[in-house]
Amino acid sequence: MKYAPLTDADAPKSQWRPWHLLVLIVLVAATAIILMRNRTATDGNVGFQRDEGAIFGTFYHATYRSSRSLKADIEAELQRVDRSLSMFNPTSTISRINSGTSDATDSLLQYVITLSQRVSESTNGAFDITVAPLVNAWGFGYKSGTLPDSAAVDSLRALVGYRHIALTEDGRIEKDIEGVVLDCSAVAKGFGVDRVAQLLRGQGINDFMVEIGGELVVSGTNPDGQLWRVGVNKPVDDATSTSNELEAVLPLTNCAMATSGNYRNFYITDDGRRISHTIDPHTGRPAQHSLLSATVIAPTCAEADAFATAFMVMGLDSAKALLESQRQLQVYFIYDHDGEDLIYSTVH
């Protein structure tokens, strides 16, 4: 049997038309939209892990998009920070330096000291990691019922000053006078948050929030696929209050935020004075201003944390003036004006 060669005329007519492609695109897009809607509506936080635990005398929370828990790695990283910076751990790097056992730092402490010295320089010494002798005097003064007098404050002030310490090239701490003590508590929480954020990014995770005692980093989107919503507490004037009333909710991502407030850690003396745990290194006394809380948004949480403390020392006007030269910062300040809480915000 012979087959005649096929010609074009014999071929089945193609049904293809350009508008078919259009229909196909519309169908695919519609299916994708429906699938995404369903996912957000019913199963929006698929793949998000939530971890929490105790650290640095407070709690950490981590929410991150991952199919497996990284809790053990997160806590190992936080312990690493604790072994470097904790004032309560007698074998931490900082404790060994303070007790005179060693002058050697580690890479974490080097980073924190370098950052702290930079913030000290740019805040004209309002932030100062050598302030501990004064913090202790005011704290212990309260506990023992006798606040330090001017003579005591002056003699302790002689031990305070960030210029008394320097980091050598081989990673040692040099002090130019005896009795200088390092205290990185004002930046440790923020730094811990940065380290955990770095750990998550290193695992290829982009959607997360990490928080330690109110200092936090947010990245990517939340489980609803939206910006993270971060609360700023109302400065409720009550030492015993555990109120978490919010002054504002800020939609944020890809940034760090830290808050320092004189409404949380303070005590009232018998004669009605409020003693906050933020000390003005220049006066040697607790900072006292109209500023009730300073929330700072910055590229890193360590930096946000340090500036938040510095702004509480500086007060509203000096803090506002400094913002001119610190363009990487945004702030949300709550301050008292004749008994009324007012807001100064540069958050956009």
Smallest separation, CB 291 to ligand ADP (Å)? 11
Which of ligand ADP, Mg ion, none interacts with 161 (beta carbon under 5 to 8 A by kind)? none
- Report in angstroms how near the CB of residue 245 gets to Mg ion at its nearest: 21
Question: In this complex, which beta carbon is closest to Mg ion, that of residue 190 or of residue 223?
Answer: 190
CB of 230 to ligand ADP, least distance (A): 15
Residues in CB range of 279: below 8 A, 6 or more apart = 131, 134, 135, 138, 285, 286, 287, 313
Question: Residue 181's binding partner, choosing from ligand ADP, Mg ion, none, with beta-carbon cut-off 5 to 8 A by kind?
Answer: none
Give the integer Cα–Cα distance in Å for 334 and 113. Answer: 29
**Nearest 5°: phi and psi at 262?**
-85, 5
CB 298 within 8 A of CB 329: yes
What are the backbone dihedrals phi and psi of residue 230, each rounded to the nearest 5 degrees, phi first? -115, 130
Q: What is the DSSP letter of 164?
A: G
Binding at 185: pick from Mg ion, ligand ADP, none (beta carbon under 5-8 Å per type): ligand ADP
The residue (of 60 and 127) whose beta carbon lies closer to ligand ADP is: 127
For the CB of residue 90, give the shortest distance to ligand ADP in the complex, in Å: 17
Q: Which stretch binds Mg ion (CB under 5 A): 103-111, 195-203, 230-238, 306-314?
A: 306-314
Alpha carbon distance 19, 16 (integer Å): 9
Q: Which does residue 226 bind out of Mg ion, ligand ADP, none, counting CB within 5 to 8 angstroms by kind?
A: none
- Written in H, E and C, the secondary structure of 77-97 is HHHHHHHHHCCCCCCCHHHHH
Scanning 66-74, 184-192, 229-237, 331-339 for contacts with Mg ion by CB under 5 A, the matching segment is 184-192
For position 305 contacting Mg ion by CB under 5 A, the verdict is: yes
Q: Are 296 and 257 in contact (CB under 8 A)?
A: yes
CB of 188 to ligand ADP, least distance (A): 8
The DSSP H or E segment spanning 6 is: none
Kindly state the tokens that stand for 50: 């939530």
| DSSP string covering 174-189 | EESSTT-----HHHHH
Shortest reach from residue 212's CB to ligand ADP, in Å: 10
Least distance CB 133 / Mg ion (angstroms): 19
- Binding of Mg ion at residue 233 (CB under 5 A)? no
105 binds, among ligand ADP, Mg ion, none (CB under 5 to 8 A by kind): none
309 binds Mg ion (CB under 5 A): yes
* Residues in region 18-57 near Mg ion by CB under 5 A: none
Region near Mg ion per CB under 5 A, out of 5-13, 197-205, 279-287, 297-305: 297-305
Radius of gyration in angstroms for the set of CA atoms belonging to the chain, rounded to a whole number: 27
Minimum Å distance from CB 222 to ligand ADP?
A: 24
CB burial of residue 211 (10 Å; 0-12, 13-18, 19+):
buried
The residue ranges that bind ligand ADP (CB under 6 A) are: 127-129, 131, 135, 183, 185-186, 260-261, 265, 277-279, 281, 305, 308-309, 313
In whole angstroms, give the CA distance from residue 276 to residue 11. Answer: 90
Asked if 191 and 302 touch (Cβ cutoff 8 Å), the reply is yes
Residues that bind Mg ion (CB under 5 A): 186, 260, 305, 308-309
